[in-house]
Amino acid sequence: MEIQVISGDISNLSAGAIIVPCFEHNTPINNETGAVDRALGGAITQLVNEGEIKGKCSEITLLHSLGKLPAARVLVLGLGKATELTSNKLRNAFADACRYLRNKNVQDLAVIPLGSGVNGISPETCGQTLAEGAMLGLYTFRNHITPKEDNKEIKRISIVAGNAERAMVGSGVNKGTILSESVNMTREMVNEPSNYKNPTTMAQKAVELGKQFGIAVEVFEKEQMEKMGMGALLGVAQGSRQPPKFIVMHYKGRTDDKTIDLAMVGKGITFDSGGISLKPPEKMDEMKGDMAGGASVMTAIAAIARLSVKLNVSAFIPATENMPGGNAFRPGDILTAMNGKTIEILTTDAEGRLILADALTYASRMEPKAMVDVATLTGACVVALGDVCTGGFSTNQALMDKVTASAAETGEPVWQMPMFDEYHDQIKSNVADMKNSGGRNGGAITAAKMLAEFTGSIPWVHLDIAGVSLTDKERGYIVKGGTGNPVRTLVNLAMKLSA
Ligand code: BES
Ligand code: MN
Ligand code: ZN
């Protein structure tokens, strides 16, 4: 799909469909919508007067122009009250409109810079948001479906902007395109089944991105992990035939010094069977997506590099399967992590915190100014927060606040959870320095408490994305399968930190 920004008058444009906005309680209809309305002999005004078009956000009304306009159809897109418009609402509404038109087999559409200048939305934000709405909302995962002749596809979107806005809308489109490509790359990796992906293919992807966008990539093999003493990561990897990989990516966006400004650590379990503590069969298929955190930090650093953000950013991805092979680690085993701390295994299904333990130790030793880990870590987080927001956990309120603010801006909300000392009692062990499960109560928090043991004094935030990384609902720019959350938040955070 191509997105172009052109100048001209949308009512003179020939296309499968043109999209014009309608705000709630905003009569008479004016601007571009007014010109289209006049060409249609007042059809839009009539529908507004009859109450069929209310202008509610994401409301879609399709009119056929029947030769009165060069474009075959006019889609009137409700954007709600002008004073309440946000880029998130705009992204969702435009995504819905694009999918609606794709269903009608429209192949090229044109739109004005929807929402630009409304409620503080700049032309650049508008371009970015429209690109994201279209690219994210139209994403499909069809890698394993036999291609059909009548595959519906939107091939071109033209944003028709005034001369004053055109360049700014265009630079927004460029940014939105880069972000969406990264989000869709994460979705693609999450959606890929585990007979097509494993730690090795994840490492290959990292190497490929590194070459493309100028990111230094190191892939540590099992032997090197042994030398480094990564006993927790290796313990998890023991039960699988797939060799583990520890993937490290460094992007230097500042030339003045080498300090890592932001370290991003992502859980890369390419399939989580639970190991010897085998999961129940229901929904086990979803555990192909247990590497969503790893994919999101990998594609976020790619976007950060492509956008030339002036910041030194590194990504760390411990990647392995969690399988119950003959050599698998067992409940009762005691593992020694890279920082020397010992961990009693109560359940082999609490594997994420084990692989993250060693990755966090490795990253902390590079003394980054800030560290954020992203993981589909606990079912308990899904129980607590559902699929609406990510759980945020931190030992540094200033960094937590920056992450929360970045997340709110991108429409991928994070809700902070407590880290009271008392929770630590649940992971005390009689035979080791800690145990890898604190039981059911407060499970998302006790998991975070264990991670905190491996972060030293580095300002750190943990994001538990177990509830938001996959969805079976289609809503706005989110489609079924991997969501790509929180790639845009991570990139936004990097941009905030560089400012
Ligand atoms: N990958 C799972 C967590 C998960 C559950 C992610 C549901 C997405 C959806 C994780 O490795 C896990 O199995 N956690 C256990 C921990 C427990 C055994 C202490 C859980 O949450 O049940
Ligand atoms: Mn597990
Ligand atoms: Zn897991």
**Residues, CB within 5 angstroms of ligand 2 (ion):** 272, 349, 351
Is residue 173 situated within a structural domain?
Answer: no
Of ligand 1's listed atoms, the one at least distance from the Cα of 352 is: 11
| Whether residue 380 sits in one domain with residue 459 | yes
Last residue of a domain, one of 99, 128, 163: 163
* Ligand 1 pocket mutation, candidates 269, 348, 377, 390, criterion most atoms within 8 A of CB: 377
The answer on pLDDT for 303 being more than 80 is: yes
Is residue 172 situated within a structural domain?
Answer: no
Dmax (CA) of the chain:
81
Contact 96, 58 (CB under 8 A): yes
Residues lining ligand 1, Cβ inside 6 A: 272, 290, 347, 349-352, 376-380, 382, 437, 443, 466
Averaged pLDDT, 376-401: 98
Please tell me the predicted confidence (pLDDT) of residue 151. 84
Please tell me the predicted confidence (pLDDT) of residue 128. 98
The answer on pLDDT for 29 being more than 90 is: no
Which value, in Å, is the radius of gyration of the alpha carbons in the chain? Answer: 24
| Ligand index nearest the alpha carbon of residue 324 | 2
| Whether residue 276 sits in one domain with residue 132 | no
| Whether residue 231 sits in one domain with residue 102 | no
Is residue 308 situated within a structural domain?
Answer: yes
The pTM (predicted TM-score) of the whole model is 0.98
Which residues are catalytically annotated? 279, 353
Print the domain residue range for 464: 180-498
Q: How is residue 442 written in tokens?
A: 């407060």
pLDDT one-digit tens code per residue, 50-62: 999 999 999 999 9
- Residue 208 phi/psi, 5-degree rounding, is -60, -45
Ligand 2 centroid to Cα of residue 226, in Å, is: 23
Q: What is the CATH number of the domain that holds 418?
A: 3.40.630.10
Lowest mean pLDDT among 148-157, 255-264, 348-357: 148-157
Ligand 2 centroid to Cα of residue 419, in Å, is: 22
| Whether residue 372 sits in one domain with residue 271 | yes
Please tell me the predicted confidence (pLDDT) of residue 385. 98
Please tell me the predicted confidence (pLDDT) of residue 173. 98
Please tell me the predicted confidence (pLDDT) of residue 240. 98
| Whether residue 269 sits in one domain with residue 159 | no
| Whether residue 442 sits in one domain with residue 305 | yes
- Residue 69 phi/psi, 5-degree rounding, is -135, 155
- Residue 319 phi/psi, 5-degree rounding, is -125, 125
The answer on pLDDT for 148 being more than 90 is: no
Please tell me the predicted confidence (pLDDT) of residue 33. 93
| Whether residue 215 sits in one domain with residue 361 | yes
Please tell me the predicted confidence (pLDDT) of residue 30. 84
The answer on pLDDT for 313 being more than 90 is: yes
Task: Determine the Cα–Cα distance for residues 314 and 197; give it in Å rounded to an integer.
Answer: 23
Q: How is residue 46 written in tokens?
A: 């009539």
| Whether residue 106 sits in one domain with residue 187 | no
Please tell me the predicted confidence (pLDDT) of residue 17. 98
Q: With pLDDT > 70 as the criterion, what percentage of the chain qualifies? A: 100
Task: Determine the Cα–Cα distance for residues 218 and 90; give it in Å rounded to an integer.
Answer: 40
The answer on pLDDT for 27 being more than 80 is: no
Is residue 171 situated within a structural domain?
Answer: no
> Among 364, 352, 357, which residue's Cα sits nearest to residue 320?
352
Averaged pLDDT, 321-342: 98
Averaged pLDDT, 208-220: 98
Task: Determine the Cα–Cα distance for residues 411 and 393; give it in Å rounded to an integer.
Answer: 19
| Whether residue 140 sits in one domain with residue 195 | no
Q: How is residue 386 written in tokens?
A: 């559902």
Last residue of a domain, one of 118, 136, 163: 163
Is residue 174 situated within a structural domain?
Answer: no
Task: Determine the Cα–Cα distance for residues 159 and 304; give it in Å rounded to an integer.
Answer: 25
| Whether residue 245 sits in one domain with residue 117 | no
Mean pLDDT of the chain: 97
Ligand 2 centroid to Cα of residue 78, in Å, is: 43
| Whether residue 184 sits in one domain with residue 71 | no
Number of domains in the chain: 2
pLDDT one-digit tens code per residue, 225-283: 999 999 999 999 999 999 999 999 999 999 889 999 999 999 999 999 999 999 999 99
